Amino acid sequence: MTTGMKLKQFLLHEKRAGVDLPYDLIELIHEVSITCKEIAATVSRGELSGVLGVAGSENVQGETQKELDIITNDIMANHMSVSGLVAGMGSEEIDDPIVVPAAERGEYLLMFDPLDGSSNIDVNISVGTIFSVLKAPLGCKAEPKLEDYLQNGDQQKAAGFVVYGPSTVLVLTTGQGVNMFTLDNAIGEFVLTTEGCQIPEETTEFAINLSNKRFWEKPMQDYIEDCLQGENGPLGKRYNMRWVASMVAEVYRILVRGGIFMYPFDSRDPSKAGKLRLMYEGNPMAMIIEQAGGAASTGHGRIMEVESTGLHQRVPVCLGSKNEVEKVFEYHARADNAA
Ligand code: AHG
Ligand code: MN
Ligand code: MN
């Protein structure tokens, strides 16, 4: 009986059962979970903390930073850089890789989005932290170079996110399925509550920011147009729509009841392939979704096969219930063939 096990206890149990999980990876995941408890505590204080609102600065992607974007970035970066487990880190909020002192270096690279959905923080809607773990090619022997980070998603050793909602839940994969751990505040531990998440293959629920429709490519416009026609349209189903504007909350919902989530390529800024970032949003969420039996595509191919060219590279994202993602893929393939 594994349900009810604490996070670290469960990972050690899996290792003993034969799963390929090095001790330092278990430690790393455990340390990340500790920082997420600190972030959960910070976020949950809301207005009491006096840190809601904008910080007056912009990150490398030209987005206005919230004070909490910076505070949560520092919580993660400061804690992990002395953990002895990472050789370097990449964060949404920091332009260049975060350097770890030589004496503190470990074997892994940690990519993270410290506060996903941060536009929702002031309005008290769920936000989260996303992370992706890669092996540092030279381990702890040298300071990682930028190229060392540019691995594709299939090379991730672990991926996860924590959603700070009505309950705080850690969703984790180490490549052996997806498990969920709910934070039990009474004991201060993440406790296994769902083992082996499986996303239903079929769905009638889509999530997309429809206000951007005029900027999308034709296949995406056509697919959503057909969804909106419901049971009398070419897809023959009555769809429901959701848009939380926190990817963590949307992916969590899809893990629980299925669905499809899209942030497609749009023409607002042709230099960007989409809004979401490959290394700390697209790849970790794609690994989780695939490990739960879903699919994660750019519309043209698997997200985790996209060649990584920069820490803050953008990627079009379409993920969730397998058969629905496959439909979106077919709309794109048909348009490609016609061209
Ligand atoms: P972040 O807060 O880390 O910048 O990410 C926000 C992302 C994602 O969580 C969400 O799905 C999307 O941006 C919402 O975008 P819109 O505000 O354009 O709907
Ligand atoms: Mn984000
Ligand atoms: Mn963020």
pLDDT tens across 273-320, in order? 899 999 999 999 999 999 999 999 999 999 999 999 999 999 999 999
Q: What is the pLDDT of residue 265?
A: 96
User: How far is ligand 2, taken at its centre, from the CA of residue 339, in Å?
Assistant: 34
Residue nearest to atom 6 of ligand 1 (CA): 117
| pLDDT tier for residue 50 given thresholds of 50, 70 and 90 | confident
pLDDT at 51 over 90: no
pLDDT of 52 reads 81
267, pLDDT greater than 90: yes
- Regarding whether 154 and 255 lie in a shared domain, the answer is no
- CA 29, 34, 37: angle at the middle one, nearest 5? 125
Tens digits of per-residue pLDDT, 95-104? 999 999 999 9
Residue 166 lies in a domain: yes
Query: Which residue's alpha carbon is nearest to atom 3 within ligand 1?
Result: 116
Q: Which tops the pLDDT comparison, 339 or 142?
A: 142
**What is the pLDDT, as a whole number, of residue 339?**
84
Going edge to edge, which strands form the sheet with 295-297? 240-241, 205-207, 260-263, 317-320, 295-297
Q: How far apart are the first and last CA of the chain?
A: 55
218-228 vs 322-338: helix axis angle to the nearest 10? 130
Query: How many distinct structural domains can be found in the chain?
Result: 2
User: Could you read off the pLDDT of 149-195 as tens digits, one per residue?
Assistant: 999 999 999 999 999 999 999 999 999 999 999 999 999 999 999 99
pLDDT tens per residue across span 34-48: 999 999 999 999 989
Distance 205 CA to ligand 3 centre (A): 25
Q: Are residues 154 and 221 in the same domain?
A: no
Tell me, yes or no, whether 274 and 157 share the same domain.
no
Average pLDDT, the chain: 96
Q: Is residue 25 part of a domain?
A: yes
Q: Six-digit token pair at 140?
A: 């702890």
Closest CA to 135 of 179, 88, 171, 100: 88
Please say whether the beta carbons of 261 and 320 come within 8 A: yes
Please tell me whether residues 239 and 142 are part of one structural domain: no
Task: State whether the Cα torsion 138-140-141-143 is positive or negative.
Answer: positive
Residues with CB under 5 A from ligand 2 (ion): 113, 116
Ligand nearest to the CA of 115: 3
For residue 53, the enclosing domain spans 7-194
Residue 61: what pLDDT?
75
Distance CA 79, CA 226 (A): 48
189 in the same domain as 69: yes
Residue 134 belongs to some domain of the structure: yes
Q: pLDDT tens for residues 8-24?
A: 999 999 999 999 999 99
Two structure tokens written together for 220: 């995406």
Same-domain check for residues 180 and 216: no
User: Hey, whose CA ends up nearest to atom 16 of ligand 1?
Assistant: 245
Same domain, 36 and 165: yes
121 band by pLDDT with thresholds 50, 70 and 90:
very high
The count of other CB atoms within 10 Å of the CB of residue 20 is 11
Reply yes or no on whether the pLDDT at 1 is more than 80: no
Contact (CB, 8 A) for 131 and 85: no
* Confidence bin at 268 (pLDDT 50/70/90): very high
What does the alpha-carbon distance between residue 74 and residue 125 come to, in Å, rounded to a whole number? Answer: 22
Q: Is the pLDDT of residue 85 over 90?
A: yes
Q: Tell me the average pLDDT across 51-71.
A: 80
200 falls within a domain: no
**Which atom number of ligand 1 is nearest to the Cα of residue 130?**
3
Last residue of a domain, one of 162, 194, 226: 194
Please report which confidence band the pLDDT of residue 112 belongs to, taking 50, 70 and 90 as the band edges. very high
Write the burial class of residue 78 (CB in 10 Å: 0-12 exposed, 13-18 middle, 19+ buried). Answer: exposed
Ligand 1 pocket mutation pick from 276, 312, 317 by most atoms within 8 angstroms of CB: 276
Which of 194, 215, 237 is the last residue in one of the domains? 194
Say what the pLDDT of residue 45 is: 94
Last residue of a domain, one of 194, 227, 244: 194
Question: Both 75 and 135 in a single domain?
Answer: yes
- The ligand with the least distance to the CA atom of 69 is 3
